[in-house]
Amino acid sequence: MDADTLAQIEELATLQFSMEEVSIIVDKPVAELAEGEPMRAYLRGRLKAQADVRRSIVSMAKQGSAQAHKQFLELADQSRPEIEHDEQEGEK
C-alpha cells in the first residue's frame, strides 16, 4: 500500500472512524486494512488522538479542573501496568 493511503488511514483513525468506515473512504477491503502496515497506521492514528486528549486532560487537571483531575485518575487506573514481582528477586 502506498504512503499516501497509509497517511490517509492514519488521519481518518485520529478522527475515530471505525475500520469499516475507513475501508469505505479509502476504497479498500477491510481485510486488506486489518493487518500489516495498514493496521499499524490505523492503530497509530487512534493512539495519537487518544494521546492528544490525554494531554488536554492533564493540562486542565494541572489548572485545577476537578473533572479533568477525576478523568486523569480514571485513565491512570485503567492503564496501570500489571507488574509481576519475582519473589526470589525481592529477596536479593
- How much is the pLDDT for 70? 94
> Is the predicted pLDDT of residue 87 greater than 60, yes or no?
no
Model-wide pTM > 0.95: no
pLDDT on residue 13: 97
- Give tens-digit pLDDT for 38-76: 999 999 999 999 999 999 999 999 999 999 999 999 988
- Lookup: cell for 46: 487512534
Mean pLDDT of the chain: 91
Identify the three-state secondary structure at position 36. Answer: helix
Q: Residue 12 burial by CB count (10 A; 0-12/13-18/19+): exposed, middle or buried?
A: buried
Determine the residue type at 25. Answer: I
